[in-house]
């Protein structure tokens, strides 16, 4: 490996070249990255750090919280509230927004996060992650409210995730491509290990929870049936399947070698647009995937164009290699909705 570039150096050089990472945004990204380092340490300790198992509480979405869901949420709030870069935060694990307390200066940005993605994998020692999204607070009024967060994903100033796996990797976009940083534990620093990440346009690998097959809409069923038919089917090639059940891990694989990820609407709860959350999961991941040359839709439209109507809104997600995402989206269009 040649000269090592740290996260700080990367952010400063990007600002010098393109002017799109003002000081508050840089501080924000560095603080989130530092919080992820702390989370990585807790994740690593596992049973020794008493971080496994249930917290015995439920979040606003009725999901049982794991100890780590709660710990990671606290770590991210504590790390971010005092720096002067934020006006407020919102999290999958909190009912409403968290306004930066009056004793700290108010900043220009809004931070949204899924503090711990892949909760079902914590106790079984499989990769998990933290996902975050950054918006600018509209500057036409004083104070901050939930309404300020309800901006389409195309307005994100930055987005990223950290994956706690065999390696701890931070993946970041500020709207000018995607960069990956690997945590050097001895030095305690994030080192740039890949820049200009690109997702191949075609793939032979899909990720979907097949146990829900009987509940899917016809366009999703059609796409997967055609993949399963392999060489002898209409696609003329064999497909492989992967499902980690941590969106971060599935998306990370897609950024590394291509693929398509789907958590589509299904008829178990027809009024629910999907399982995944628009603001904490779908928007940041869609921003990253598009910045790497991939695509992301809900079957009808680009995810980043969706105008959210509430903080904890859910959405159907189809993302990854461009040509496959376009195919599934076309199947939805041909079916006239669904
Ligand atoms: P979270 O742990 O933040 O609630 O998210 C879990 C999500 C996502 O990471 C993953 O792709 C999906 O739920 C897995 O769902 P199934 O258990 O239904 O496969
Ligand atoms: Mn999640
Ligand atoms: Mn979560």
Measured in Å, residue 213 CA sits from the centre of ligand 2 at 21
User: Which ligand neighbours the alpha carbon of 119 most closely?
Assistant: 1
Q: Pocket of ligand 1, candidates 247, 286, 318: which has the most ligand atoms within 8 Å of its Cβ, to mutate? A: 247
| pLDDT exceeds cutoff 90 at 102 | yes
User: What percentage of the chain reaches a pLDDT higher than 70?
Assistant: 99
**What residue ranges define each of the domains in the chain, with the CATH number in brackets?**
7-195 (3.30.540.10), 205-334 (3.40.190.80)
Per-residue pLDDT at 126: 98
Per-residue pLDDT at 337: 55
Per-residue pLDDT at 338: 45
- Helix H, strand E, coil C: the string for the chain is CCCCCEHHHHHHHHHHHHCCCCHHHHHHHHHHHHHHHHHHHHHHHHHHHCCCCEEEEECCCCCEEEHHHHHHHHHHHHHHCCCCCEEEEEECCCCCCEECCCCCCCCCEEEEEEEEECHHHCCCCCCEEEEEEEEECCCCCCCCCHHHHCCCHHHCCEEEEEEECCCEEEEEECCCCEEEEEEECCCCEEEEEECCCCCCCCCCEEECCHHHHHHECHHHHHHHHHHHCHHHCCCCCCCEECCCCCHHHHHHHHHHHCCEEEECCECCCCCCCCCEEHHHHHHHHHHHHHHCCCEEECCCCEHHHCCCCCCCCEECEEEECHHHHHHHHHHHHHCCCC
User: What percentage of the chain reaches a pLDDT higher than 90?
Assistant: 96
- Average confidence (pLDDT) over 12-18: 95
Q: Does residue 246 have its Cβ closer than 6 Å to ligand 1?
A: yes
Q: Supply the mean pLDDT for the chain.
A: 96
Q: Does residue 114 have its Cβ closer than 6 Å to ligand 1?
A: yes
Q: Does residue 125 have its Cβ closer than 6 Å to ligand 1?
A: no
Closest approach atom of ligand 1 to CA 117: 3
- Average confidence (pLDDT) over 182-210: 97
| pLDDT exceeds cutoff 60 at 218 | yes
Q: Which pLDDT band, with edges at 50, 70 and 90, does 2 fall under?
A: confident
Per-residue pLDDT at 60: 87
Q: Output the pTM of the full model.
A: 0.97
Q: Does residue 91 have its Cβ closer than 6 Å to ligand 1?
A: no
């Amino acid at each position: 490996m040649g000269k090592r570039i740290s996260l700080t150096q990367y952010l400063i050089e990007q600002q010098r070249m393109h002017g799109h990472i003002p000081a508050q945004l840089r501080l924000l990204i560095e603080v989130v990255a530092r919080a992820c380092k702390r989370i990585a340490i807790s994740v690593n300790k596992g049973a020794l750090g008493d971080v496994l198992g249930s917290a015995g509480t439920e979040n606003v979405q009725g999901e049982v919280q794991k100890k780590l869901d709660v710990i990671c949420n606290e770590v991210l709030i504590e790390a971010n509230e005092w720096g002067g870069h934020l006006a407020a935060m919102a999290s999958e694990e909190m009912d409403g927004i968290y306004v930066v307390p009056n004793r700290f200066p108010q900043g220009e940005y809004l931070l949204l996060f899924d503090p711990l993605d892949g909760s079902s994998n914590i106790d079984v020692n499989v990769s998990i992650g933290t996902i975050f999204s950054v918006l600018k607070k509209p500057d036409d009024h004083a104070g901050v409210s939930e309404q300020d967060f309800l901006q389409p994903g195309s307005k994100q100033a930055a987005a990223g995730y950290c994956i706690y796996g065999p390696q701890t990797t931070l993946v970041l976009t500020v709207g000018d491509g995607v960069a990956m940083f690997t945590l050097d534990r001895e030095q305690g620093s994030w080192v740039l290990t890949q820049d200009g990440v690109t997702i191949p346009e075609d793939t032979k690998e899909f990720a979907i929870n097949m146990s829900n097959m009987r509940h899917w809409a016809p366009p999703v069923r059609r796409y997967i049936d055609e993949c399963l038919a392999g060489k002898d089917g209409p696609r003329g090639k064999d497909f492989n399947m992967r499902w980690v059940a941590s969106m971060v891990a599935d998306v990370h694989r897609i950024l590394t070698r291509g693929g398509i990820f789907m958590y589509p609407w299904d008829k178990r709860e027809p009024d629910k647009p999907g399982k995944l959350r628009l603001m904490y999961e779908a928007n940041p991941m869609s921003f990253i995937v598009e910045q790497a040359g991939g695509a992301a839709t809900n079957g009808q439209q680009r995810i980043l164009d969706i105008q959210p109507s509430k903080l904890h809104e859910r959405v159907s997600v189809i993302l990854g290699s461009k040509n496959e995402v376009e195919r599934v989206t076309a199947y939805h269009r041909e079916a006239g909705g669904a």
